[in-house]
Structure 1
Amino acid sequence: MRRLILAGLVAAAVLAACEQPDPLAANRRACADDNGAPAERVAACTALIESGELEEAARIEAQANRGAAHRAAGEVTSALRDFEAVLRVEADNAVALEGRAAILLASGQLDAAEQLVTQLIETGEADASAQFMRAEIAQSRGDYAAALEDYDAAIARDQRMAIAFARRGRAKQRLDDIDGALADFDSALRLDSSLVDARAGRCWLSLREGRDLERARTDAETAAAADPRHVEAQLCRGILQLRGEEWTLARTSFEAALEVEPGNPTALFGRGVARRRSGDSDGREDMNRARDFDRHIGETFDDWGVRTY
């Protein structure tokens, strides 16, 4: 009987030991949470990496996730450092390939980004983001037909990817599919009513086509309020303000655009018009500087329905 009791106690002790909570469980969850706050993810992933308790596969996963968290926080150098460390050990790691490709694409390194995106797609583990990035590369190169194919593929994989609809709308507009472009901007905004790229895109399409200018003004105001440094939103709002002879407001919009892009000819010419029409004859200087960049800029403003004199 005594032996049975001892055996039971030993079994209970073993079971209790097996049921000990994983001391790293909270960090594992936080590190893997794509929707978590970037700083918290970085801290959790770092704790995992430095714990010395992870097997290699888990450590690689944690470092890739930390790179993604750094990228989400805008910490590009730290993100690249993590992604490159992961890829040296696991060349086909999807998180690292996607993250590094996105950073290279954002910095305009199209060829380098394309190599990583192609590699990612070839792994068979790519999601809609990979197709979207390849579409962005094609659009940046002016190959709108190829871009359209990849936007289609991205949307087929994720029909709630609002930015893919917005960017496909721009490609369709370049290919003169105006109704298709408008439909895509509308779809993007049904999915995400605050998407600045879609608001600005629809504003410009409406302005150029002379369609629903009241809605265009709402789009411009909403986009500029959400992102004051979005040049297209400020320009579209400024043009509409010029059409409404709101000189002071238009000048403010164009100056906001010029803070981001000091040599932007549309912003320079628009500010010049606003200055001249409000009685500041020195506005001609802005207009002449704009003509140095684009000698047809005045005709373009005429097409947009702006009275420049």
Structure 2
Amino acid sequence: MVGMVGRALVAAAAGVGALALATLIEVSAARAESPLSTKCNAVGNLSVDDRIAGCTALIESAAAMPRGLVMAHFRRAMFYRQKGEIDRAIADYDQIIERFPDNLNARIARASAHLQKREPEAALPDYAKVIELDPKNTYAYLGRAHVYSSRRDFVRAIADYDQALLIHPDNVIAHVERGLAYVRKGDPDRAMLDCDRAVEISPQTGGGQLCRGRVYFAKGDRERALAELDQTIQIKPKNENFYYFRAESFSQLGELDRAIADYDRIIELSPRSRSAYGCRGRRLCSKRRL
């Protein structure tokens, strides 16, 4: 599903924040830090720029131990990504990996940053290295499978999803993504097994229902497909991806008014969504031509 694994990997990278906080508090207890550097992990209503400045001050000072500096780089990279400054985030991950080549969190985070930057091929070496160092790293298999799937290499993608599910049999993302890969590979019956399993494991996420909707479309059962997509939105009415999939489905059916309504909802939820504006504009042009 578009964005699912990307978000999972971003969350994994951001998850080091709690460890960062504990580390930097420990450092602060050992020696005094400047007021600016404490903003890197401060709790409160601080701007992203203030937090970046705080992390930069900590990195440039001699106050932190090496572990604290690594966490400051992680934190600053996370804030850069929030601003959309992906190259600067990658530079922070580069510095960590240059000093600590076996840091798996940094490699996973750098790979997910390349995905965020729409450079999937650049993510592959980091995923491969993580798998080499930790053959049971589910995130690396999911990330690499996502890259393979995006370039329509479904055999390799499915093989990586298989590995992820051997490690974590109840991983909903792996079931949904593998199901979608089977759909695109032309095997909707096999895909449905994964979709149904995803619903069984976690009916409250909506991913399995979306997966089933795609299978029904592949089988030509449009009524059941739309019913499944409707369920996803009932489950999570603020999930942009679910509206996007339904809008594209309406477009394929020639129901442009309903497609445009879904794109409008995406724009309402995320005013900066360029893809929604672009898709909505194309549908309006199609409607005028009709």
- Specify the TM-score bucket, using the shorter chain as the normaliser: 0.5 to 0.7
- Determine the structure 2 residue equivalent to 1:66: 75
Distance 1:121 1:234 in 2: 37
**Aligned residue identity for 1:117:** Y
- Structure 1 unmatched runs, 5+: 1-24, 33-39, 276-281, 285-309
Q: Determine which of 233, 256, 259 is the counterpart of 2:246.
A: 233
TM-aligned CA distance change 1:99 to 1:262, over 3 Å: same
The answer to whether residue 111 in structure 2 is matched with residue 109 in structure 1 is no
Distance 2:118 2:172 in 1: 22
Distance 1:59 1:80 in 2: 18
| Partners of 1:31 and 1:62 within 8 A in 2 | no
Query: Bigger shift: 175-184 or 91-100?
Result: 175-184
Greater RCO between the two (CA within 8 Å, min separation 6)? 2
Query: What is the TM-score when the length of structure 1 is the normalising length?
Result: 0.61
1:173 Cα deviation from its structure 2 partner: 1.0
The SS at the match of 1:215 is: helix
Q: Identity rate of aligned residues, in percent?
A: 21
The SS at the match of 1:225 is: coil
TM-aligned CA distance change 1:113 to 1:283, over 3 Å: same
Distance 1:89 1:199 in 2: 44
Query: Superposed, which structure 2 residues align to 1:201-280 within 5 Å?
Result: 201-209=211-219, 210=221, 212-213=224-225, 215-219=227-231, 221-222=233-234, 225-228=237-240, 231-237=244-250, 242=255, 248-253=257-262, 260=275, 264=279, 268=282, 272=286, 275=287
Distance 2:135 2:64 in 1: 24
Query: Superposed, which structure 2 residues align to 1:86-235 within 5 Å?
Result: 86-124=96-134, 127-193=137-203, 195=205, 198-209=208-219, 210=221, 212-213=224-225, 215-219=227-231, 221-222=233-234, 225-228=237-240, 231-235=244-248
Distance 2:161 2:25 in 1: 30
| Partners of 1:217 and 1:240 within 8 A in 2 | no
1:169 Cα deviation from its structure 2 partner: 0.7
| Partners of 1:67 and 1:96 within 8 A in 2 | no
Query: What is the TM-score when the length of structure 2 is the normalising length?
Result: 0.64
Distance 2:94 2:263 in 1: 41
1:268 Cα deviation from its structure 2 partner: 4.2
Larger Rg: 1
**Aligned residue identity for 1:27:** L
The SS at the match of 2:216 is: helix
Pairs aligned (count): 239
**Aligned residue identity for 1:221:** I
Residue deviations 1:138-182 (CA, integer Å, cap 9, x gap):
111111011000011112222343222111111111222212212
| Partners of 1:135 and 1:148 within 8 A in 2 | yes
Distance 1:202 1:216 in 2: 7
| Partners of 1:67 and 1:99 within 8 A in 2 | no
TM-aligned CA distance change 1:190 to 1:235, over 3 Å: same
- Determine the structure 1 residue equivalent to 2:5: none
| Partners of 2:263 and 2:277 within 8 A in 1 | no
- Determine the structure 2 residue equivalent to 1:295: none
